[in-house]
């Protein structure tokens, strides 16, 4: 905020939670720059109301919350925050992989009931990671960072990728013991993991999603978890955040995290810093640092 206030007049949303769409539409009028969060839907209506906008700086790497085509058509630069959140998101992915394969959520809930009877030889047995295959869907910065950490756990890695140097999706699904999603949300990736994809996975396999909720058909996932089509899932993102598919709450074999991928002090500071520098660059007539291309 201090850096922004040095460079321009700043109007900030100080309300609780997320600014309403109506208020965003009303307040974007007359502004040259907009710094947005993933929860702000910067759709055509917002962009059309922002007739003076020169830059929309998203404080996130994903930018599915922004109608980039509408912005581009009006000559508005859109920027995101790639790179600075790669490690934090990869670490959180591993936290979910470990939590779901070692039944940590289930165990924690048990201890909190004050009714855990104590250690037992065959209690809450999970799946060992060593020697298993980690399937990475989307081999960009974050997917690669997740893959880099796999050696420490003795896992082999398979991946799909847009450039076609990976293995086909069907094969990845049918051979992996953990499937982790790292694709951006686009028209092509919406419901990439649907009932058919889940049916292709091993019954002993786990699904982890730290990308975007709509990449997974949440109703199909709940069904698959309930019917033990797969062994479990670790989710950080949901189809209609903050709403979580109701059936998931009753299932022990799913770990539910509240969209924490980039939530470390270091990373959120770096994201804020990069979004601010992008906005100021464009407003000063300079090139953006990390434009969405």
Q: Which of 159, 182, 245, 259 is catalytic?
A: 259
Query: Of the two residues 234 and 261, which places its CB atom closer to ligand GLV in the complex?
Result: 261
Partners of 232 in the beta sheet?
206
Query: Of the two residues 61 and 254, which places its CB atom closer to ligand GLV in the complex?
Result: 61
C-beta of 192: minimal distance to ligand GLV in Å? 17
> Active-site residue 241, yes or no?
yes
C-beta of 272: minimal distance to ligand GLV in Å? 12
Query: Of the two residues 80 and 101, which places its CB atom closer to ligand GLV in the complex?
Result: 80
Burial of 24 (0-12, 13-18, 19+ CB in 10 A): buried
Q: Which of 141, 149, 241, 268 is catalytic?
A: 241
Within the chain, how many helices (H) and strands (E) appear?
11, 9
222/272 Cα distance (integer angstroms):
35
* CA 276 and chain centroid, separation: 21
> Active-site residue 259, yes or no?
yes
157/172 Cα distance (integer angstroms):
10
246/89 Cα distance (integer angstroms):
26
CB atoms within 10 A of CB 18: 15
C-beta of 59: minimal distance to ligand GLV in Å? 8
Q: Which residues of 174-212 are buried (b: 16+ CB within 10 A; e: fewer)?
A: ebbbbbbbbbbbeeebeebbeeebbebbbeebbbbbbbb
C-beta of 94: minimal distance to ligand GLV in Å? 17
Contacts with ligand GLV by CB under 6 A lie at 38, 60-62, 85, 261-262
Q: Which of 212, 218, 245, 277 is catalytic?
A: 212
C-beta of 249: minimal distance to ligand GLV in Å? 22
> Active-site residue 115, yes or no?
no
Partners of 78 in the beta sheet?
56
Query: Of the two residues 58 and 176, which places its CB atom closer to ligand GLV in the complex?
Result: 58
Radius of gyration of the chain (CA): 21
Query: Of the two residues 85 and 221, which places its CB atom closer to ligand GLV in the complex?
Result: 85
Query: Which residues have a catalytic role annotated?
Result: 212, 241, 259
């Amino acid at each position: 905020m201090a850096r922004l206030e040095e460079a321009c007049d700043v109007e900030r949303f100080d309300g609780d939670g997320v600014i309403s769409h109506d208020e965003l539409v009303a307040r974007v009028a007359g502004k040259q720059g907009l710094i947005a969060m993933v929860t702000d839907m910067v759709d055509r209506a917002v962009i059309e109301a922002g007739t003076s906008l020169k830059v929309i700086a998203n404080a996130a790497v994903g930018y599915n919350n922004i109608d980039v085509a509408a912005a581009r058509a009006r000559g508005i630069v859109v920027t995101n925050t790639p790179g600075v959140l790669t490690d934090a998101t990869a670490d959180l992915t591993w936290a979910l992989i470990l939590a779901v394969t070692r039944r940590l959520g289930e165990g924690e809930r048990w201890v909190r009931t004050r009714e855990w009877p104590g250690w037992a030889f065959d209690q809450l047995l999970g799946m060992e990671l060593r020697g298993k295959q980690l399937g990475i869907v989307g081999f960009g910065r974050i997917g690669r960072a997740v893959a880099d950490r796999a050696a420490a756990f003795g896992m082999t890695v398979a991946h799909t990728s847009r450039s076609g140097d990976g293995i086909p999706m069907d094969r990845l699904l049918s051979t992996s013991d953990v499937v982790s999603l790292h694709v951006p949300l686009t028209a092509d990736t919406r419901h990439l993991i649907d009932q058919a994809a889940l049916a292709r996975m091993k019954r002993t396999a786990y699904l982890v999603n730290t990308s975007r909720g709509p990449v997974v058909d949440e109703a199909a996932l709940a069904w698959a978890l309930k019917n033990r089509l797969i062994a479990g899932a670790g989710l950080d993102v949901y189809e209609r955040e903050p709403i979580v598919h109701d059936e998931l709450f009753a299932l022990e074999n799913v770990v539910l995290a509240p969209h924490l991928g980039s939530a470390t002090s270091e990373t959120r500071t770096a994201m804020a810093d990069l979004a601010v520098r992008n906005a100021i660059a464009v407003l000063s007539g300079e090139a953006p640092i990390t434009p969405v291309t």
